[in-house]
Chains A and B, each alone.
Chain A
Amino acid sequence: MYSLLWLIPLLPLVGFLLLVFFGRGMPRTLAGIIGAGSVGVSALLTIIDGIGFLSAPPAAGFYAERLWSWVALPGFTIDVGFRFDALTLTMMAIITVVGFLIHLYSTEFMAEDGEFALFFAYMNLFVASMLLLVMADNLLVLYLGWEGVGLCSYLLIGFWYRDPENGAAARKAFIVTRIGDVAMLIGFAVIVANLGTLNIQELMRRAAGEWAVGSTLPILVAALLLGGAIGKSAQVPLQVWLPDAMAGPTPVSALIHAATMVTAGVYLIARTHVLYALAPPVQLAVAIIGLVTLLVAGFSAIAQVDLKRVLAYSTVSQIGYMFLGLGVGFYSAAMLHFMVHAFFKALLFLGAGAVILGQGDEHNMFKMGGLRRAMPLTFVTFLIGVASLSALPVVTAGFYSKEWILSGVWQSPHDGPLMWLLAGGVGVLLTSIYSFRALFIVFFGEQKIQTTHRPGVAIALPLVVLAVLSIGGGLVQFPPTIAKVNLFQSFIGPVFYGGLPGGAAASGAATNGGAVAVGGAAAGGPTEALLQIIASALSLIGVGIAYLLYRRGLPSHARLGEPAGFRGLKAFLFSGLGFDWLYGRLLVRPFLAVSSFLKGDFIEYLYVAIGAVNSGAGRLLASAQSGKVRWYLAGLALGAVVAVGLVVWL
């Protein structure tokens, strides 16, 4: 039935191997065909398997395939196998389809780059690892993909390694996510020690059977796994790496740091949802982390100058929405937002890439302007992306996913209305202000830089496809107040609410959310409709504020602003609320101080001395190579005399 399932992650891996070993001498066209083609075929296979899955769903709701046994100890085995269910299918479809579009885009975007083949090699390795991550039915195999995508993220952020700053950004991303990964690995160890398996379904079944709701072990495990998730998904307090990760090429930002890898944390929590249902405090923590993150990142995004950093903070903020959805038990809503976000954020990054490419690698928004006429296609698609990001009512996909999450937040038993006010009120307003601010600054006003590169087909096509998806992607799920369309919920919901015997008993929040979302307007139609109207109005007000501040030009800006402390506030927001400064003071500087102190111990001098002696001797011998032929000859004669003398007299 799904006999070619294993081929889907294998194809990009083969592409990676071909490109990394033979890429250097390869013509660019061939490298591009291998790089984009391998992902394209994977996307095709995913679509075929997806159609098969949708038209004839397996009776159990999933299809499992065991490939081989990796570790076989008595009482503890790890099999390499795939689990193919609605959640995996959603992730795979995004990874391969959006991935293919971004690969296609890269063939034009990176056309001038010296390391063209290597770029596609890394991208292919990323797609292969990400597919392994979402398809694995075992936490250790998942971890393999998890670290694989981390490695690719590191390699691609530092892809233009000749600039030391890019290398520093890559290291920062790697080290900060590593903090979370260590916690996650400890979590795996706790799971193995207590449940004796790493098979995800099996461990959830055993956990639901053996652990009581709210007892210590599930809280510990869920919190440790959450550590990994917030590292990878750039949530507070580990969010500092993502804005700096924009040092990489723009297609990388679109694929890895917006559409797929950074949502791995969301996937992990959704995948191990039973553990979170067993640990209500941690699940509440997920919601609070998401809420704090979306506000912190939203405020930071308002003050950014670099176009890509605006988008980076907005990614952090939108993943905050996903975490919020997970935290209130609306897993399906979080996954829908993941899907829609992948569409519109990839679109925004690719549009930003086209702008940056067309403006001679200029990132500063305030040096751009007036691109509406110079790049009409990019403008229209970017506008669609921004509208979807701001969740403009009814017409955009972002509206449907965000409203779904917000309705879950309202129903949350833990101060739901307050959380709604922060996420739905402040958050939505912030989102539409910062996104339309970017739009107005870049595309309206006077054109300041001459456009040098008009997007070709390889750039235009992904933009158009993603723009269509950013509009239409939400039509699979309507709020009950508008229409009874529950395609997405009935598709992915059973992963979270059905199938598992422990699932139903696990948590009030999870089943509650499921029941409401499946059943429709159980929480009172009028309230929900009113909330939706308020949120929609706020997003439109945000557009208006952005228009007043940034479209009408500096006079209104000056009239409103510059009271005492405004400049300081701006700098504070610009720095991402000072997290980097804080971590620099608290962690980096003490670490550097301790290590520079430890550097000067006496063993160090021994090795320094060895080095000094060697380099001194080398310099001495090098001086013998004077370039004077007669000196060489004298040395030769002297050597011959010594050699003959040794033979004769010894």
Chain B
Amino acid sequence: MSAQLPDYALVLAGILFGMGLLGVLMRRNIIYILISVEVMLNAAGLAFIAAGSRLAQADGQVMFIFILTLAAAEASVGLALIIQFYRAYRTLDSDAAKDMRG
């Protein structure tokens, strides 16, 4: 059966998501963090597509369109934030912003 195929896709989505998460957690440069977030979003999109294919429903693909839109919006807002961050701290190191400590 072709039922095996979506499971591999789900595994791939899980691996991609984990890599994205690790990227977010471990990179200090916020541009890389933003890229990693994009990877995570795409992993989630892949999981939706796979699940939709497995259940033979169009909903998964509809959700992916939503995620795509969301990712575009997120990227624009994120980049704007990065510019503001750089103006405030003159660096792209995310650990520089620890004024809320304590």
The residues of A with any CB-CB pair to B shorter than 8 Å are 622, 625-630, 633-634, 637
Binary contact readout B20-61 vs A (1 if CB under 8 angstroms, 0 otherwise): 010011101000010000000000000000000000000000
Q: Is the interface of A mostly helix, strand, loop or mixed?
A: helix
Which residues of chain A have C-beta atoms less than 8 A from B28's C-beta? 630
Report whether B98 and A627 are in contact in the complex, using a CB–CB cutoff of 8 Å: yes
Which residues of chain B have C-beta atoms less than 8 A from A622's C-beta? 102
Smallest CB–CB gap between B16 and chain A, Å? 15
CA distance A289 to B26 in the complex (A): 84
Which residues of chain A have C-beta atoms less than 8 A from B26's C-beta? 630
Report whether B98 and A633 are in contact in the complex, using a CB–CB cutoff of 8 Å: no
Report whether B102 and A637 are in contact in the complex, using a CB–CB cutoff of 8 Å: no
Q: Closest residue to A637 on the B side, CB-wise?
A: B21
Which residues of chain A have C-beta atoms less than 8 A from B1's C-beta? none
Number of B interface residues, CB 8 Å?
A: 14
Pick the contact of B101 from A626, A633, A634, A637 — CB < 8 Å? A626
Binary contact readout B75-102 vs A (1 if CB under 8 angstroms, 0 otherwise): 0000000000000000000110111111
Q: Closest residue to B99 on the A side, CB-wise?
A: A627
CA distance A266 to B28 in the complex (A): 80
Which residues of chain A have C-beta atoms less than 8 A from B95's C-beta? 628-630
CA distance A616 to B81 in the complex (A): 37
CA distance A536 to B101 in the complex (A): 77
Q: List 17 A-B contacts (CB under 8 A).
A: A625-B100, A626-B98, A627-B97, A627-B98, A627-B99, A627-B100, A628-B95, A628-B101, A629-B94, A629-B97, A630-B24, A630-B26, A630-B33, A630-B95, A633-B24, A633-B25, A637-B21
Which residues of chain A have C-beta atoms less than 8 A from B102's C-beta? 622, 625, 627
Smallest CB–CB gap between A450 and chain B, Å? 48
Q: Closest residue to B101 on the A side, CB-wise?
A: A627
Report whether A630 and B94 are in contact in the complex, using a CB–CB cutoff of 8 Å: yes
**Residue of A622, A630, A633, A637 with most partner-chain B CB within 10 A:** A630
Smallest CB–CB gap between A368 and chain B, Å? 51
Smallest CB–CB gap between A622 and chain B, Å? 7
Smallest CB–CB gap between B59 and chain A, Å? 21
Q: Closest residue to A622 on the B side, CB-wise?
A: B102
Given contacts A628-B95, A633-B24, A637-B25, 4 further A-B contacts (CB under 8 A): A627-B100, A627-B101, A630-B25, A637-B21
Smallest CB–CB gap between A15 and chain B, Å? 46
Which residues of chain B have C-beta atoms less than 8 A from A629's C-beta? 94-95, 97
Smallest CB–CB gap between A107 and chain B, Å? 46
CA distance A629 to B28 in the complex (A): 10
